[in-house]
Amino acid sequence: MKDQYDLIVIGSGPAGEKAAVKAAYHGYSVAVVEKNTRFGGAGTNTGTLPSKTLKETALYYSGFYEKGLFGVDKELERSANAQDFFFRKNQVVDSQEEGIEKNFRLHGIDTFHGAGKLLGPNKAGITGKDNCELNGKFILVATGSYPFQPEGIPFDGCYVHDSDTILQINRIPKSIVIVGAGVIGCEYATIFSVMGSNVKLVNSREEILTFLDREICHALQDQMKEDGVDFIFGNRVEDVAILPEEHEHNVHAKLTNGEPLQADMFLYAAGRSGCSAGLGLEEVGVELGKRGTIVVDQSYRTAVPSVFAVGDIIGFPSLASTGMDQGRVAVTHMFGLHEIEKISEHFPYGIYTIPEVSVFGITEDEAIEQEIPHVIGRAKYTDMPRGKIMGVDEGLLKIIVEKHTRTILGVHIFGKIATELIHYGMSLVENRETLSDVISRVYNTPTLHELYKYAAYNALIEGHYLDKPTGH
């Protein structure tokens, strides 16, 4: 293999992979350096894909959505041990990893296994299986993030876990304490609860997912409570101790309010930190931010002109979805490709709890804070023919509408396949479409998509528009 490339990418997660492939597609020589034996990073191996597959597995084994469908609360005769629980996850992860390797091969990308380090603005060293030094016109750092482990917590990968080691458990816990009600904590709380574990979710704040529209947040919170998740708010967990096997609960701890807390297993989901240690970044002049992140400009260039950084390593929003596009945009800037030069400032959030939540655009509180005269439109899944057929007993689509122009400014969905349904709402907001635009279109029926039309009609009623001309 050669030692001179147009681009060296360090890290093969979603951000690094998409950047590497885009550069190679445009004819540039690319090397990818990956310290793990597998490609794909957290996106494929420990984060996005595994947790989403486990959600589907939990739904399958619990028969969660089939219950009540035929008028009887019929428990399906399916039960799962940990091996069953992880079977499909392993299949999906393996298949995706193979796909990434093939993508690299098809695009003529050279891959190197070992820990990458910057030796200069255009030089990287690799320590590990493929020990060598490479020169690159550009270097892209896409090394991702790792779970933050608060000090003093006895993480042992058996009883006390982070979001990486929870994927190696060999039993479904009877009871689990999850610390942190962010996206990871809430997603795993619903997965374990549906799998039959007794779940306690401890959060330092008084609510879950504080960036959500409050009505949607409360709808999710209420549903999680109804499905058995026990919330402990305004508390932290202290004095965590693992006890010998013969105890009924192997992990004992205390809350900040002094109350004892016991469970078979603990999962910490209290944020993530950037993988920047040992990369030689500061030595070559790359500026670092909070929690190990790298500081970049709008084109993802660091303080060193030949070094770019994308994905979780640059911090917020730390999503696979945004990371992939950051990678593509960085390559556009490196090589002056005149394609997408900026990713959209706004992006959807997809939260794969059971039920899902997905949001795009302004919340009701933001409309109030920004003094935007507005109207709210709501449609419930249970009122839709498709919702009735599916037997769902929860779900809400809420739109925030600018009062005078009737323009849709925000869409917030709580319910089944919300993460799919949001994309139509996203184009409504991005294209500044109005209630009339939504109402004047024919949609397939029966579909959940009709939620949009009924939310628009509801906004017309709420806004007392019906007796006035539409203005369009």
Ligand X SMILES: Cc1cc2nc3c(=O)[nH]c(=O)nc-3n(C[C@H](O)[C@H](O)[C@H](O)COP(=O)(O)OP(=O)(O)OC[C@H]3O[C@@H](n4cnc5c(N)ncnc54)[C@H](O)[C@@H]3O)c2cc1C
User: Residue 436, interface with ligand X (CB under 6 A)?
Assistant: no
> Considering CB under 6 A, how many residues would be counted as binding ligand X?
38
Question: φ, ψ for residue 117 (rounded to 5)?
Answer: -150, 140
Task: Supply the DSSP symbol for 286.
Answer: P
User: Residue 134, interface with ligand X (CB under 6 A)?
Assistant: no
- Least distance from ligand NAD to the Cβ atom of residue 230, Å: 14
Binds ligand NAD (CB under 6 A): choice among 53, 203, 302, 358? 203
Residue 311 contact among ligand NAD, ligand X, none, beta carbon within 5 to 8 Å by kind = ligand X
Q: Residues with Cβ < 8 Å from 56, sequence gap 6 or more? A: 88
- Among the candidate windows 102-110, 132-140, 269-277, 389-397, which touches ligand NAD by CB under 6 A? 269-277
183 is in an annotated binding site: yes
Binds ligand NAD (CB under 6 A): choice among 176, 177, 195, 269? 269
Place of tokens 């962010």: 182
Give dist(CA 32, CA 14) in Å, integer: 12
Binds ligand NAD (CB under 6 A): choice among 8, 181, 195, 281? 181
278 is in an annotated binding site: no
Cβ density class 4-17: b for 16+ within 10 Å, e for less: ebbbbbbbbbbbbb
Binds ligand X (CB under 6 A): choice among 279, 334, 396, 409? 279
Tell me, residue by residue from 348 to 387, as one string, x for binding to ligand X by CB under 6 A and - for no binding.
--x-x-----------------------------------
Q: Is there a cis peptide before residue 355, judged by omega within 30 degrees of 0?
A: yes
Residues 43-62 that bind ligand X (CB under 6 A): 43, 47-48, 51-52
- Among the candidate windows 104-112, 182-190, 324-332, 382-390, which touches ligand NAD by CB under 6 A? 182-190
User: Residue 303, interface with ligand X (CB under 6 A)?
Assistant: no
Residues 56-115 that bind ligand NAD (CB under 6 A): none
Please, what sign has the CA dihedral across residues 335, 336, 337, 340? positive
Residue 24 contact among ligand X, ligand NAD, none, beta carbon within 5 to 8 Å by kind = none
Binds ligand X (CB under 6 A): choice among 8, 21, 33, 216? 33
Question: φ, ψ for residue 69 (rounded to 5)?
Answer: -65, -35
Cross-strand pairs, 7: 30, 138
Give dist(CA 185, CA 75) in Å, integer: 26
Long-range interactions of 26-31: CB distance < 8 A, separation 24+:
26/331, 26/335, 26/337, 28/335, 29/2, 29/4, 29/5, 29/110, 30/5, 30/6, 30/107, 30/108, 30/109, 30/110, 31/1, 31/5, 31/7, 31/109, 31/110, 31/111, 31/112, 31/134, 31/136
CB 137 within 8 A of CB 306: yes
450 is in an annotated binding site: no
Tell me which residues touch ligand NAD (CB under 6 A). Answer: 150, 179-185, 187, 202-205, 236-237, 269-272, 317-319, 350-352
Tell me which residues touch ligand X (CB under 6 A). Answer: 10-16, 33-36, 41-43, 47-48, 51-52, 115-116, 142-145, 163, 184, 275, 279, 311-313, 318-321, 323, 350, 352
Binding site feature residues for FAD: 52, 116, 143-145, 312
